[in-house]
Amino acid sequence: MDIALEAPTGCPSGLAPAERNDNAADPAAFVRRDAHGDETLELMVSGAKCAGCISKIEGALRALPGVSEARLNLSTQRLRVVWRAKTIEASTIVGTLARIGYAARPFDPEAAQRETDETGRRLLRYLAVAGFAAMNIMMFSVPVWSGDGEMGAATRTLLHWISALVAVPAALYAAQPFFGSAYRALKARRANMDVPISLAVILALGMSIAETLQHGAHAYFDGVVMLLFFLLIGRYLDHKLRQRARTAARDLLALQAVTAVRIGADGKTTAISARDIAIGDRLLLSAGDRAPVDGVIEDGASDLDTSMLTGETRPVPAHAGDSVHAGAINLTQKLILRVTARAADSTIAELARLIEAGEQNRAGFVRLADRAAALYVPVVHTLAALTFLGWLLAPILLRGLGFDADDVGVRAALQNAVAVLIITCPCALGLAVPAVQVVATGRLFQSGVLVKSGDALERIAQADTIVFDKTGTLTLGKPRLITRADEQTLTSAASLARISRHPLARALVAVAGPGAPAVDAQEIAGDGVEALIDGKIARLGRRGFAAPDAQDADDGAMELWFSRQGDAPVRLAFEDTLRGDAANVVATLKQRGYQVELLSGDRRTAVEAAANAAGIECWRASVNPAEKVARLHELSAQGKKVLMIGDGLNDAAALAAAHASASPGTAIEATQAAADLVIEGPLLAPLIEAIDVAKSSRQRALQNIGFSALYNVIAAPAAMAGLLTPLIAALAMSGSSLVVTLNALRLRGKGPR
């Protein structure tokens, strides 16, 4: 008796609605077999939110015969299932999940190649070692500081030697990422932030050992490991952010890997991965499926939803001989396609190339921290060199001028030069930007905005022009009934509409509510639905089919006609409604001085209506993807920084080409992958919050960089003057890092509104 299967569908805590798996791809093509006869499948599960979901999903799957492992990772929403080969079919797993109310989509195993984030783990190990060393050295440093003057030189040297025992191996181990990156930069004849860091670490260690050998007081063992500890925190935060961005993009692209159903020569159907589709294959495209490749309809007639490709909201009828582009969704009847282009050559791949071109464009963007580093490195090194030369040459110079001055010697000069390098080591600077970006993305995540990369925030903060797409972005992308029809008509029309996947029919059913479909209803592709109601022929569909004698309303709206023998036909008009807060968001953006534009691939009338309703004066209709990109280039040539918001495949290239980009969570995966931000939920308001947070995080990052600079302005002259002691160095470095981190945390303090 399995309780999990009897529970109501979806999340038991009601945190997420039960998902329907309308057009799940057959996962069979994505099953991996190993040598022991076990089969593994990785699925992306949506709708899992809580403990109840975990136990329900894992329990239901483990109850299946042959399943040896089912583990759901709630952070990544990935489910891994392992079972004995031939005990169950892969589709049983997806079916079981669908029955308990979770949608699951297979991952392309190649794209989803389980990447364990080795770099992240290694950074954590470095961080742990540096942290351990920093804390334990304090045990020996604090007595030295507090016993200053009273402690004998022998005791101090003993404590220094113990510190060295901990610090030298720990620092040489934990500084590896900095050494490696500095070495690579120097080899390429560049200098980055890691060059002064590596220099400071090596020089400080060397000098401290030399100092200990001579029983001196200036040992910086504590400073070195503390420096590494703080720097590694910054490095780890930065890595986590980038990793999340990379994972998000890769997951989306892996999900895009669709399957297709091939009809063999013997008429048998097999599920294959889109990659394996060859030209000339015959594919079965069921209602609700997305065409994986370009092809020509060989048999059947249906309606195609191409809104993701073109922005056109109205479905297009398609018959034998018509060509179908990859990405189009088959709505009404099953079709048999003859493939004319492989996946890599299809329309989608063409768009992918446009996306890549756009992303290369964006590579020119220099991150705030890198710009600061470029200024910082030469200044610091010049200062250190000046300190060394100054201490060496000043006595000679003074004597030449007739003053009485003793030589300080190479050792003291070197000591002061190294002190400058240690104290100016960009500890706070390394934390300044990542700390802010981690807090900012965390806060936005709570408001339903997924930020895919840290520099996305920097770019969004710079934007001054905002370009919207219409279908699915400003609008919901779903038609809504605007005609007021009487109850009787609505109920009868809906009973016909229930058997269709056509978006207008769906919209009609949504208004009518639950009910039974009409008996004997038949869908005629490209025309509509016909059925008998109380013995009379009733028709729902386009005018030529349902009401050939009626007058054309000619107002450009989407329409369905409903007729029943003997009654006058009724026209049902639909409209793609704006998102609830679209007009408000546009008004707010304009009020803040943004230039707002609308670029849509849809018809002129539809775009004009939406632009008027949303309050956008500058709009263009019937724009194809390449023209969208061209318009963005035109704007950036004028010196504008464009934030593009779009959802369709036709927007993906423009999103990549824009300075920054966002897409709603309803967007197709490739588009979400191309966008910097993904906004969940039915409203656009999170966009405003994202812009606000991006701006304040930029401000906060600049403050932090400013603070680091200020700290150096005070500390560097002290070090150059030879006033630095190990205690001051330790206090100054940890103090500045703390201030920078606390300043970043203030961003969270405001809380989501």
Partner 1 sequence: MNIIVFLIPAALFMGALGLAAFFWSLRSGQYEDLEGAKHRILIDDDEA
Which residues participate in catalysis according to the annotation?
A: 469
Q: Is 356 helix (H, G, I), strand (E, B) or coil?
A: helix
Q: Considering the rule CB under 8 A, would residue 114 count as an interface residue with partner 1?
A: no
Nearer to partner 1, 73 or 699 (CB): 73
Helix, strand, coil % over all residues of the chain, rounded to 5: 50, 15, 30
Q: Which stretch binds partner 1 (CB under 8 A): 73-81, 280-288, 326-334, 579-587?
A: 73-81
Spatial separation of the C-alpha atoms in residues 473 and 668, rounded to whole Å: 12
Q: Considering the rule CB under 8 A, would residue 124 count as an interface residue with partner 1?
A: yes
Nearer to partner 1, 162 or 727 (CB): 162
Nearest distance from C-beta of residue 256 to partner 1, angstroms: 24
Q: Considering the rule CB under 8 A, would residue 142 count as an interface residue with partner 1?
A: no
Spatial separation of the C-alpha atoms in residues 441 and 429, rounded to whole Å: 19
Contact 598, 474 (CB under 8 A): yes
Alpha helices in 175-274 (DSSP H): 176-187, 194-213, 221-256
Nearest distance from C-beta of residue 74 to partner 1, angstroms: 3
Q: Considering the rule CB under 8 A, would residue 5 count as an interface residue with partner 1?
A: no
Nearest distance from C-beta of residue 127 to partner 1, angstroms: 10
Burial class (CB in 10 A: 0-12, 13-18, 19+), 65: exposed
Spatial separation of the C-alpha atoms in residues 626 and 633, rounded to whole Å: 11
Nearer to partner 1, 170 or 635 (CB): 170
Nearest distance from C-beta of residue 59 to partner 1, angstroms: 7
Q: 9, 59, 381, 695: which one contacts partner 1 (CB under 8 A)?
A: 59
Nearest distance from C-beta of residue 731 to partner 1, angstroms: 22
Nearer to partner 1, 125 or 750 (CB): 125
Q: Considering the rule CB under 8 A, would residue 76 count as an interface residue with partner 1?
A: yes
C-alpha separations of 358 from 68, 344, 371 in Å: 45, 19, 22
Q: 34, 68, 74, 399: which one contacts partner 1 (CB under 8 A)?
A: 74
Nearer to partner 1, 119 or 483 (CB): 119
Close Cβ partners of 588 (under 8 Å, ≥ 6 residues apart): 688
Nearer to partner 1, 139 or 172 (CB): 139
Write b or e for each residue in 535-545: b if 16 or more Cβ atoms lie within 10 A of its Cβ, otherwise e: eeebbbbbbeb
- The DSSP annotation for 202-229 comes to HHHHHHHHHHHHTT-S---HHHHHHHHH
440: nearest Cα among 691, 662, 645: 691
Nearest distance from C-beta of residue 285 to partner 1, angstroms: 37
Q: Which stretch binds partner 1 (CB under 8 A): 131-139, 548-556, 731-739, 740-748?
A: 131-139
C-alpha separations of 628 from 26, 56, 467, 475, 653 in Å: 35, 46, 10, 18, 8
Q: 22, 34, 51, 567: which one contacts partner 1 (CB under 8 A)?
A: 51
Q: Which stretch binds partner 1 (CB under 8 A): 133-141, 375-383, 657-665, 714-722?
A: 133-141
Q: Considering the rule CB under 8 A, would residue 128 count as an interface residue with partner 1?
A: yes
Q: 72, 497, 560, 747: which one contacts partner 1 (CB under 8 A)?
A: 72
Exposure of 396 in the CB half-sphere (CA atoms within 13 A): 7
Q: Considering the rule CB under 8 A, would residue 113 count as an interface residue with partner 1?
A: no
Nearest distance from C-beta of residue 162 to partner 1, angstroms: 6
Which sign does the torsion angle of CA 119, 125, 129, 134 carry?
positive
Among positions 239-258, residues that touch partner 1 (CB under 8 A) are: none
Q: Which residues pair with 539 in a beta bridge?
A: 530, 563
Q: Considering the rule CB under 8 A, would residue 129 count as an interface residue with partner 1?
A: yes
Q: Which stretch binds partner 1 (CB under 8 A): 49-57, 191-199, 442-450, 532-540?
A: 49-57
Q: Considering the rule CB under 8 A, would residue 135 count as an interface residue with partner 1?
A: yes
CA 750 to chain CA centroid, nearest Å: 24
Burial class (CB in 10 A: 0-12, 13-18, 19+), 511: middle
Radius of gyration of the chain (CA): 33
CA 90 to chain CA centroid, nearest Å: 29
Nearest distance from C-beta of residue 468 to partner 1, angstroms: 33
Nearest distance from C-beta of residue 564 to partner 1, angstroms: 54
Nearer to partner 1, 212 or 346 (CB): 212
Nearer to partner 1, 118 or 554 (CB): 118
C-alpha separations of 502 from 97, 470, 507, 644, 665 in Å: 26, 20, 9, 30, 22
Q: Considering the rule CB under 8 A, would residue 75 count as an interface residue with partner 1?
A: yes
Nearer to partner 1, 112 or 369 (CB): 112
Using CB under 8 A, count the residues that bind partner 1: 22
Q: Is 86 helix (H, G, I), strand (E, B) or coil?
A: coil
Interface ranges with partner 1 (CB under 8 A): 50-51, 54-55, 59, 72-76, 121, 124-125, 128-129, 132, 135-136, 139-140, 162, 166
